[in-house]
């Protein structure tokens, strides 16, 4: 289908605010903000992983609250875009508060590092501000989780939001020079979480997986080293035989063997006649022994010839 034929016969998706200014913005970033086709890849990704995308966060004061100071009254429901990559704002504008609340609702394992929802600030036992508010997170699949802001995260529940608070980041950077430091452990956890289950070989951590793969590689290296050692031994043996000294040694051995053969050939073998007296048992045995000696000498001659 040509470009002209496509007009009016397919969808055109524009990622921008539904205003003329948004349209102008989409034109300036055409490749990233305009898609022609049935469904953009990002929407397909969200639909296939709706449990992993946040649709909205709601923060409200509880109905029976007696708190008079204003906190979160004008927040209400905050819609989230599936393409959200950052939240910007001036100091004190509520960035830490919002991210801490997301960590609370997503069962973050770093609650002890929260900077807003912590005992010396919003969860101060004297003011009891946190117990007057409730927050609710809604996922793209429609699933909702609601908690009071003074709730404590249950560590047995699965972590739905991976949250690294600033205090936690500072703490792991402070001991980065130490061996087996917190930063390294955190980095290992992140890397291991991205390894497909089928490639983990039943290991429970990146360190165990590295050890498992290292042993496997070490065994392979040992086999290769043994093969190389055997080949090197053969090469050394061949190199020794290529040396002039080895050739000279073989020639000298050959000369010596030829001398032994010549001396052997000069030896006259005396054929012993069988005694006429067949009853002389002792003499018969002696004749048999001499014949066996002759046979052995003939075998020796064959061996010397074969050696030469």
pLDDT at residue number 178: 64
150: helix, coil or strand? coil
Which residues contact residue 176 at a Cβ distance below 8 angstroms, ignoring those fewer than 6 apart? 183, 184
pLDDT at 73: 76
Q: Are 32 and 10 in contact (CB under 8 A)?
A: no
- Beta strands at 133-139 and 12-14: parallel, antiparallel or unpaired: unpaired
Alpha-helical (H) ranges within 175-277 are 182-193, 206-241, 244-266
Q: How far apart are CA 238 and CA 234, in angstroms?
A: 6
The pLDDT score that the predictor gives to residue 283 is 75
Sequence-distant (6+) residues with CB within 8 A of 100 are 114, 115, 116, 117, 165
Secondary structure string (H, E, C) spanning 46-95:
HHHCHHHCEEEEEEEECCCCCCCCCCCCCCEEEECCCCCCCCCCCCCCCH
Residue linked to tokens 């609340």: 101
Q: Is the dihedral of CA 68, 70, 72, 73 positive or negative?
A: positive
Enumerate the domain spans of the chain: 3-38, 53-163, 244-307
| Residue 122 contacts residue 130 (beta carbons within 8 Å) | yes
Residue 79 vs residues 22, 64, 138, 195: alpha-carbon distances, Å = 18, 26, 9, 31
DSSP helix/strand/coil, 255:
helix
Report how far apart the first and last C-alpha atoms of the chain are (Å, whole number). 87
Token pair belonging to 71? 């906190």
- Burial class (CB within 10 angstroms; exposed 0-12, middle 13-18, buried 19+) of 135: buried
pTM above 0.85, yes or no: no
pLDDT at res. 129: 86
In a structure prediction context, what are the per-residue pLDDT tens digits for the chain, which is 308 residues long?
665 666 667 788 898 989 999 999 999 999 889 888 888 888 999 999 898 899 999 998 888 888 878 888 778 899 998 888 888 888 878 888 899 999 999 999 888 888 888 888 888 888 788 888 999 999 999 999 999 988 888 888 888 988 888 887 777 777 666 666 667 777 788 788 888 888 888 888 888 888 888 887 888 888 999 999 999 999 988 888 888 888 888 888 899 888 888 888 877 666 666 656 555 677 778 888 888 888 888 888 888 888 87
Radius of gyration of the chain (CA): 46
How many Cβ atoms are within 10 Å of 188's Cβ, its own excluded?
A: 16
């Amino acid at each position: 289908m040509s470009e002209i034929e496509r007009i009016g016969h397919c969808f055109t998706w524009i990622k921008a605010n539904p205003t003329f200014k948004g349209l102008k913005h989409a034109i300036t970033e055409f490749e990233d903000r305009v898609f022609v086709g049935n469904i953009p890849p990002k929407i397909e990704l969200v639909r296939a992983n709706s449990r992993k995308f946040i649709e909205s966060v709601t923060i409200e004061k509880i109905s029976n609250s007696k708190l008079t100071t204003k906190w979160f009254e004008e927040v209400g429901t905050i819609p989230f875009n599936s393409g959200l990559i950052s939240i910007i704002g001036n100091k004190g504008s509520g960035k830490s508060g919002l991210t801490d609340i997301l960590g609370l609702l997503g069962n973050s394992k770093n609650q002890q590092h929260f900077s807003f929802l912590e005992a010396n600030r919003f969860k101060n036992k004297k003011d009891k501000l946190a117990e007057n508010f409730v927050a609710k997170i809604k996922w793209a699949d429609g699933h909702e989780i609601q908690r009071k802001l003074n709730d404590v995260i249950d560590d047995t529940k699965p972590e739905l939001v991976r949250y690294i608070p600033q205090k936690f980041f500072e703490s792991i950077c402070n001991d980065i020079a130490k061996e087996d430091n917190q930063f390294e452990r955190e980095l290992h956890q992140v890397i291991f979480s991205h390894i497909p289950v089928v490639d983990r070989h039943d290991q429970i951590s990146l360190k165990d997986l590295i050890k498992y793969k290292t042993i496997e590689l070490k065994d392979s290296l040992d086999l290769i080293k043994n093969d190389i050692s055997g080949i090197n031994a053969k090469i050394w043996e061949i190199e020794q035989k290529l040396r002039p000294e080895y050739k000279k040694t073989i020639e000298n051995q050959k000369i010596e063997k030829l001398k032994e053969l010549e001396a052997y050939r000069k030896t006259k073998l005396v054929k012993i006649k069988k005694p006429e007296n067949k009853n002389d048992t002792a003499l018969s045995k002696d004749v048999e022994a001499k014949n066996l000696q002759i046979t052995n000498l003939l075998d020796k001659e064959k061996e010397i010839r074969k050696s030469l």
